[in-house]
Amino acid sequence: MHFKALIILSLFLYQKSYAQHSVKDSILISLKTKPKPYLSLHNRNTFIQSNRTKLYGLVGGVELDKKVKLFTGIYGYGNDNRTLLVFTGMGQDSLYRNIGTSNFSLGIEYKFFSYQRVSLAVPLQIGIGNVRYTFREAGSNRLFSQKDYVFIPLETGTNAYFSILPWFGLKGGLGYRLNIGKSEATKLSSPYYNLGVYVSILDFVSGIQDK
């Protein structure tokens, strides 16, 4: 737990060293500008106990001064992670264990570098959600047991953007997602990465309406 917290702290200090001299003042100035609403999709390649999986999110909020984004989001795994457990010690020789999560988050993203089409940003978000462990009998797929745990995800990292169109571009990022809660939830703490495209839904709709 302390090691994971140290990783997050190191990431934050590293990013801050590359930001403007006074991040606080820059954010406060941006907060005084006219907000622009935005809506987009997020995705994460993350890990469940060494198994790679995808985490998806729908986020919406406001962008200020093309530098600061304040947003809320809903996240969940694209597919529940399924693992066959043998000699479980739970009264069954073999069970399928499915792990799924869903959570609500609040976040801020600060763009600390921008040049032509390229920009770099630091996201920070915290949320609350649910982890569900479902166990099914391997032979019949009958439900054996189900357990739910509350967890608090804390996430930070670095995102890089390359704009192709006003509403579309390439995106890559690295970071860490720390899950705080019961031990079953903390086992899901993991680094993440994403590499793909980003779509600004409201900018896309606005561009169509202007034509």
What tens digit of pLDDT does each residue of 24-79 get?
777 777 778 889 998 888 888 887 766 778 888 899 999 998 899 999 999 988 76
- Name the more confident of 186 and 31: 186
pLDDT in tens, 115-141: 999 999 999 999 999 988 888 888 788
Percent of the chain residues topping a pLDDT of 90: 37
Residue 204: phi, psi to the nearest 5? -65, -45
Domain regions of the chain by residue span: 2-210
Q: What angle do CA 176, 73, 131 make, to 5 degrees?
A: 65
Q: What is the pLDDT of residue 183?
A: 84
Q: How confident is the model at residue 2 (pLDDT cuts 50, 70, 90)?
A: very low
Q: What is the pLDDT of residue 89?
A: 62
Say what the pTM is. 0.78
Q: What is the pLDDT of residue 90?
A: 60
Q: What CATH topology corresponds to 2-210?
A: Porin (2.40.160)
Indicate whether 5 pLDDT > 60.
Answer: no
Query: What is the distance between the alpha carbons of residues 211 and 208, in angstroms, rounded to a whole number?
Result: 5
Residue 58 pairs with which residues in a beta bridge?
41, 74
